[in-house]
């Protein structure tokens, strides 16, 4: 996929991706204060069919409002209305296009061509706008390996469990979530890693329902930590109260960082002495472990930079209103 996505895999920080209906002013005006790494302006499910034309016209005015806190800005478009939606959203300030119901490489490449043409026409840097894909049908899951590699714009892929449930005919029982989504989520994970892009979501976990706004912060934190251990790097959120849980849950815990630093120090000393392995706290570590240690430390550094960028943006905006 090239150097751009190699950097993305290691350094892109979008732990919390908060949905905000673009035509709901009370959500829009507060969105930048929530602390999300990314804000998704929704033109799809959160907007009624009769309101879509008026909603897409709002994007140009909403983007400057919601990015005051330093969040990346995505817009989720409508399938079947790509031309109209893209014409309205390919403007300065847009970071990424979220493409739902992704089912084939060819359709992603077609959307890529449309975005490229709009970038050229509007004097925007060619190729800079990213793609975030949602795979939410059986057909999409079957073809996810080629979908994830369809365009160098792709930086993240997500599994849309709600629509996938409808497509598959799954009954809605939270105690069956693991069995129902285990195959789809794992196929998505491996496809993303193979394509060198990030995989986002909460994965296959029983009794975890991201549509249940009554789920408390502790339950969300636990779910995010579990997802992080499985290889996910962030989650799409519908409730602003979950942002802090996601930011924490997808961040290496301080205990892990402290251990990683000690292992790195010990291995560096061992290498200097011509030794290939070392014991730390009764466990052996060698060069293979060092690769993972470097990843943990690099990820922590990337998150620290991202948090610094958001803090600076908030300060420049005069701070969050009381």
SS3 string, 102-136, reads CCCHHHHHHHHHHHHHHHHHCCCCCCCCEEEEEEC
Query: Distance (Å, rounded) from C-alpha 6 to C-alpha 193?
Result: 11
DSSP states of 46-89: TS-GGGHHHHHHHHHHHHHHHTTT--EEEEE--TT-HHHHHHHH
Picking from 252, 250, 271, the residue whose alpha carbon sits closest to that of residue 260 is: 252
Query: Distance (Å, rounded) from C-alpha 59 to C-alpha 72?
Result: 14
Residue 3: predicted pLDDT: 42
User: What is 3-249's CATH superfamily?
Assistant: Phosphoenolpyruvate-binding domains (3.20.20.60)
> Cα–chain-centroid distance for residue 138?
21
Residue 28: predicted pLDDT: 97
Residue 2: predicted pLDDT: 39
Residue 17: predicted pLDDT: 98
Residue 8: predicted pLDDT: 66
Q: Are 85 and 126 in contact (CB under 8 A)?
A: no
Q: Please state, in angstroms and as integers, the Cα–Cα distance from residue 217 to each residue in 111, 159, 220, 243, 247, following that order.
A: 37, 22, 5, 9, 11
- Predicted model pTM: 0.93
Residues 6+ apart with CB under 8 A from 195: 1, 5, 145, 148, 149, 154, 157
Q: Which two tokens stand for residue 78?
A: 């409508």
Residues 6+ apart with CB under 8 A from 216: none
The HSE-up count of residue 238 (CA atoms within 13 Å, CB side) is: 12
Q: What is the pLDDT of residues 203-241, one digit of tens each?
A: 999 988 877 888 889 999 999 999 999 999 999 999 999
Q: Give the residue extent of every domain in the chain.
A: 3-249, 254-316
In which residue ranges of the chain is pLDDT below 70?
Answer: 1-9
Q: Give the three-state DSSP class for 234.
A: coil
Query: Distance (Å, rounded) from C-alpha 62 to C-alpha 54?
Result: 13
Query: Distance (Å, rounded) from C-alpha 189 to C-alpha 187?
Result: 5
């Amino acid at each position: 996929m090239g150097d751009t996505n190699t950097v993305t895999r290691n350094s892109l920080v979008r732990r919390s991706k908060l949905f905000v209906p673009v035509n709901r002013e009370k959500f829009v005006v507060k969105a930048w204060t929530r602390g999300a790494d990314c804000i998704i302006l929704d033109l799809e499910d959160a907007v009624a069919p009769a309101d879509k034309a008026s909603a897409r016209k709002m994007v140009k005015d909403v983007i400057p409002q919601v990015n005051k806190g330093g969040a990346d800005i995505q817009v989720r478009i409508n399938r079947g209305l790509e031309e109209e939606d893209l014409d309205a959203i390919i403007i300065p300030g847009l970071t990424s296009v979220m493409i739902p119901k992704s089912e084939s490489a060819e359709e992603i490449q077609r959307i890529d061509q449309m975005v490229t043409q709009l970038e050229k026409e509007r004097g925007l840097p060619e190729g800079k706008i990213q793609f975030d894909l949602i795979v939410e049908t059986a057909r999409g899951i079957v073809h996810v390996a080629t979908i994830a590699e369809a365009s160098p714009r792709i930086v993240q892929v997500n599994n849309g469990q709600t629509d996938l449930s409808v497509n598959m005919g799954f009954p809605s029982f939270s105690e069956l979530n693991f069995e129902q989504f285990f195959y789809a989520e794992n196929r998505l994970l491996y496809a993303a890693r193979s394509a060198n892009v990030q995989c986002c979501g909460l994965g296959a976990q029983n009794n975890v329902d991201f549509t249940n706004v009554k789920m408390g912060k502790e339950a969300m934190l636990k779910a995010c930590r579990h997802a992080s251990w499985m290889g996910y790097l962030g989650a799409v959120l519908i409730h602003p109260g979950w942002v802090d849980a996601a930011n924490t849950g997808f961040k290496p815990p301080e205990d892990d960082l402290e251990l990683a630093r000690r292992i790195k120090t010990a291995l560096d000393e061992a290498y200097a002495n011509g030794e290939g392995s070392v014991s730390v706290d009764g466990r052996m570590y060698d060069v293979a472990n060092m690769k993972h240690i470097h990843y943990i430390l690099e990820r922590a550094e990337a998150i620290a930079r991202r948090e610094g960028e958001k803090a600076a943006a908030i300060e420049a905006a005069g701070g969050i209103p009381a």
